[in-house]
Amino acid sequence: MTQKKWRGFEIRLVDRFMCGSRAEVLGAVIGACMSFTVLLVYGGVRLDLRQLLRAVENRALLLALFALVFSIGGWWTVRTWRQLWRRGRSSKERLIYDYGVRTVGLFTAVSILFIVTWLGWTTDSGMLFGPLMIGGALAALFFGVPVSLHFGYFWGRTFAVIVGVEGDPRIEVGEPPHLT
Protein backbone atom coordinates (compact mmCIF):
# COMPACT_ATOMS: atom_id res chain seq x y z
CA MET A 1 0.00 0.00 0.00
CA THR A 2 1.46 3.35 -0.99
CA GLN A 3 0.75 6.40 1.05
CA LYS A 4 -0.26 9.57 -0.82
CA LYS A 5 2.08 12.43 0.05
CA TRP A 6 0.64 15.57 1.59
CA ARG A 7 0.82 18.40 -0.93
CA GLY A 8 -0.22 21.29 1.31
CA PHE A 9 -3.28 23.45 0.98
CA GLU A 10 -4.21 25.09 -2.30
CA ILE A 11 -6.17 28.31 -2.43
CA ARG A 12 -6.60 28.65 -6.18
CA LEU A 13 -8.74 31.79 -6.28
CA VAL A 14 -6.35 33.73 -4.04
CA ASP A 15 -3.35 32.30 -5.89
CA ARG A 16 -4.78 33.35 -9.24
CA PHE A 17 -5.19 36.92 -7.95
CA MET A 18 -1.75 37.02 -6.31
CA CYS A 19 0.04 35.80 -9.43
CA GLY A 20 -1.65 38.32 -11.71
CA SER A 21 0.46 40.74 -13.72
CA ARG A 22 -0.43 43.84 -11.68
CA ALA A 23 -1.17 42.18 -8.34
CA GLU A 24 1.55 44.01 -6.37
CA VAL A 25 0.27 47.42 -7.44
CA LEU A 26 -3.32 46.33 -6.89
CA GLY A 27 -2.45 45.03 -3.40
CA ALA A 28 -0.89 48.39 -2.53
CA VAL A 29 -3.93 50.28 -3.86
CA ILE A 30 -6.35 48.00 -1.97
CA GLY A 31 -4.37 48.50 1.25
CA ALA A 32 -4.36 52.28 0.87
CA CYS A 33 -8.06 52.46 -0.02
CA MET A 34 -9.10 50.17 2.83
CA SER A 35 -7.21 52.21 5.44
CA PHE A 36 -8.49 55.47 3.98
CA THR A 37 -12.09 54.22 4.02
CA VAL A 38 -11.91 52.79 7.54
CA LEU A 39 -10.46 56.02 8.94
CA LEU A 40 -13.11 58.16 7.26
CA VAL A 41 -16.09 55.92 8.06
CA TYR A 42 -15.22 55.47 11.70
CA GLY A 43 -14.23 59.12 12.00
CA GLY A 44 -17.88 60.08 11.66
CA VAL A 45 -17.81 61.27 8.03
CA ARG A 46 -21.12 60.87 6.23
CA LEU A 47 -21.87 60.92 2.52
CA ASP A 48 -22.05 64.72 2.37
CA LEU A 49 -19.38 65.96 -0.07
CA ARG A 50 -18.52 69.09 1.95
CA GLN A 51 -18.10 67.12 5.13
CA LEU A 52 -15.95 64.55 3.31
CA LEU A 53 -13.67 67.23 1.86
CA ARG A 54 -13.40 68.97 5.24
CA ALA A 55 -12.51 65.67 6.94
CA VAL A 56 -9.86 64.87 4.33
CA GLU A 57 -8.41 68.38 4.69
CA ASN A 58 -8.32 68.20 8.51
CA ARG A 59 -6.92 64.66 8.65
CA ALA A 60 -4.70 64.70 5.56
CA LEU A 61 -1.48 63.78 7.35
CA LEU A 62 -3.08 60.93 9.30
CA LEU A 63 -4.84 59.59 6.20
CA ALA A 64 -1.65 59.78 4.15
CA LEU A 65 0.38 58.04 6.85
CA PHE A 66 -2.04 55.15 7.24
CA ALA A 67 -2.51 54.88 3.47
CA LEU A 68 1.26 54.62 3.04
CA VAL A 69 1.66 52.01 5.78
CA PHE A 70 -1.20 49.83 4.52
CA SER A 71 -0.16 50.18 0.88
CA ILE A 72 3.27 48.85 1.86
CA GLY A 73 1.50 46.05 3.71
CA GLY A 74 -0.62 45.18 0.67
CA TRP A 75 2.43 45.15 -1.57
CA TRP A 76 4.36 43.02 0.95
CA THR A 77 1.54 40.48 1.22
CA VAL A 78 1.39 39.94 -2.54
CA ARG A 79 5.17 39.80 -2.89
CA THR A 80 5.54 37.28 -0.06
CA TRP A 81 2.79 35.12 -1.53
CA ARG A 82 4.52 35.08 -4.92
CA GLN A 83 7.86 34.16 -3.37
CA LEU A 84 6.73 31.44 -0.97
CA TRP A 85 3.46 29.87 -2.18
CA ARG A 86 5.13 27.14 -4.23
CA ARG A 87 5.09 23.40 -4.81
CA GLY A 88 8.08 21.34 -3.70
CA ARG A 89 9.82 19.04 -6.17
CA SER A 90 12.21 17.16 -3.90
CA SER A 91 11.65 15.87 -0.36
CA LYS A 92 13.44 18.92 1.10
CA GLU A 93 11.37 21.37 -0.94
CA ARG A 94 8.18 19.48 -0.10
CA LEU A 95 9.03 19.80 3.58
CA ILE A 96 9.77 23.52 3.22
CA TYR A 97 6.95 24.60 0.91
CA ASP A 98 4.18 21.99 1.23
CA TYR A 99 4.42 21.39 4.98
CA GLY A 100 6.12 24.59 6.10
CA VAL A 101 4.64 27.44 4.08
CA ARG A 102 1.37 25.97 2.87
CA THR A 103 0.45 24.20 6.11
CA VAL A 104 2.19 25.76 9.14
CA GLY A 105 2.32 29.23 7.57
CA LEU A 106 -1.31 29.11 6.47
CA PHE A 107 -2.56 27.88 9.85
CA THR A 108 -0.53 30.60 11.56
CA ALA A 109 -1.96 33.27 9.24
CA VAL A 110 -5.54 32.11 9.83
CA SER A 111 -4.92 31.96 13.59
CA ILE A 112 -3.50 35.48 13.65
CA LEU A 113 -6.42 36.76 11.59
CA PHE A 114 -8.99 35.24 13.95
CA ILE A 115 -7.18 36.20 17.17
CA VAL A 116 -6.50 39.82 16.22
CA THR A 117 -10.03 40.26 14.86
CA TRP A 118 -11.48 38.77 18.05
CA LEU A 119 -9.30 41.04 20.21
CA GLY A 120 -10.52 44.08 18.26
CA TRP A 121 -14.11 42.90 18.61
CA THR A 122 -13.82 42.47 22.40
CA THR A 123 -12.08 45.84 22.73
CA ASP A 124 -14.96 47.46 20.83
CA SER A 125 -17.26 46.12 23.61
CA GLY A 126 -18.72 43.48 21.35
CA MET A 127 -19.74 45.93 18.64
CA LEU A 128 -19.79 43.94 15.42
CA PHE A 129 -17.63 45.51 12.69
CA GLY A 130 -16.30 48.21 15.02
CA PRO A 131 -13.22 50.25 14.16
CA LEU A 132 -10.77 48.14 16.16
CA MET A 133 -12.21 44.89 14.82
CA ILE A 134 -11.90 46.02 11.21
CA GLY A 135 -8.51 47.66 11.83
CA GLY A 136 -7.24 44.48 13.47
CA ALA A 137 -8.49 42.34 10.61
CA LEU A 138 -6.80 44.62 8.06
CA ALA A 139 -3.54 44.67 10.04
CA ALA A 140 -3.61 40.87 10.33
CA LEU A 141 -4.31 40.53 6.62
CA PHE A 142 -1.67 42.96 5.40
CA PHE A 143 1.04 42.26 7.98
CA GLY A 144 0.17 38.94 9.67
CA VAL A 145 -0.06 36.90 6.46
CA PRO A 146 3.46 37.74 5.19
CA VAL A 147 4.98 37.19 8.63
CA SER A 148 3.14 33.87 8.95
CA LEU A 149 4.25 32.64 5.54
CA HIS A 150 7.85 33.55 6.37
CA PHE A 151 7.44 31.74 9.70
CA GLY A 152 6.25 28.64 7.82
CA TYR A 153 9.25 28.88 5.51
CA PHE A 154 11.57 29.18 8.53
CA TRP A 155 9.81 26.23 10.20
CA GLY A 156 10.18 24.09 7.07
CA ARG A 157 13.88 24.89 6.63
CA THR A 158 14.60 24.31 10.31
CA PHE A 159 12.72 21.02 10.34
CA ALA A 160 14.56 19.88 7.18
CA VAL A 161 17.87 20.50 8.94
CA ILE A 162 16.73 18.73 12.12
CA VAL A 163 15.44 15.69 10.23
CA GLY A 164 18.51 15.69 7.99
CA VAL A 165 16.71 15.82 4.64
CA GLU A 166 19.17 16.56 1.86
CA GLY A 167 18.32 18.54 -1.25
CA ASP A 168 18.57 16.89 -4.65
CA PRO A 169 20.68 19.09 -6.98
CA ARG A 170 19.37 17.26 -10.06
CA ILE A 171 15.76 18.21 -9.28
CA GLU A 172 16.22 21.54 -7.50
CA VAL A 173 17.25 23.70 -10.44
CA GLY A 174 16.04 27.30 -10.13
CA GLU A 175 13.01 28.35 -8.10
CA PRO A 176 10.35 25.78 -7.20
CA PRO A 177 7.27 26.01 -9.44
CA HIS A 178 4.15 27.92 -8.49
CA LEU A 179 0.97 25.95 -8.00
CA THR A 180 -0.82 25.23 -11.25
DSSP secondary structure string for all residues of 94-142: IIIIIIIIIIIIHHHHHHHHHHHHHHHHHHTTT-TT-HHHHHHHHHIII
Note whether residue 82 is domain-resident: yes
What span, in angstroms and rounded, lies between the C-alpha atoms of 169 and 28? 37
Note whether residue 174 is domain-resident: no
Note whether residue 43 is domain-resident: yes
Note whether residue 172 is domain-resident: no
Note whether residue 175 is domain-resident: no
What span, in angstroms and rounded, lies between the C-alpha atoms of 15 and 86? 10
**pLDDT score for 1:** 38
Residue 158 pLDDT exceeds 80: yes
Note whether residue 2 is domain-resident: no
Q: What total number of domains does the chain contain?
A: 1
**pLDDT score for 2:** 43
Average pLDDT over residues 141-152: 95
**pLDDT score for 116:** 94
Note whether residue 97 is domain-resident: yes
- Choose between 91 and 54: higher pLDDT: 91
Residue 5 pLDDT exceeds 50: yes
Note whether residue 29 is domain-resident: yes
145 Cα distance to chain centroid? 3
- Choose between 103 and 7: higher pLDDT: 103
Which range marks the domain in which residue 46 is found?
Answer: 12-163
Residue pair 97/176 in contact (Cβ under 8 Å)? The answer is yes
- Choose between 97 and 8: higher pLDDT: 97
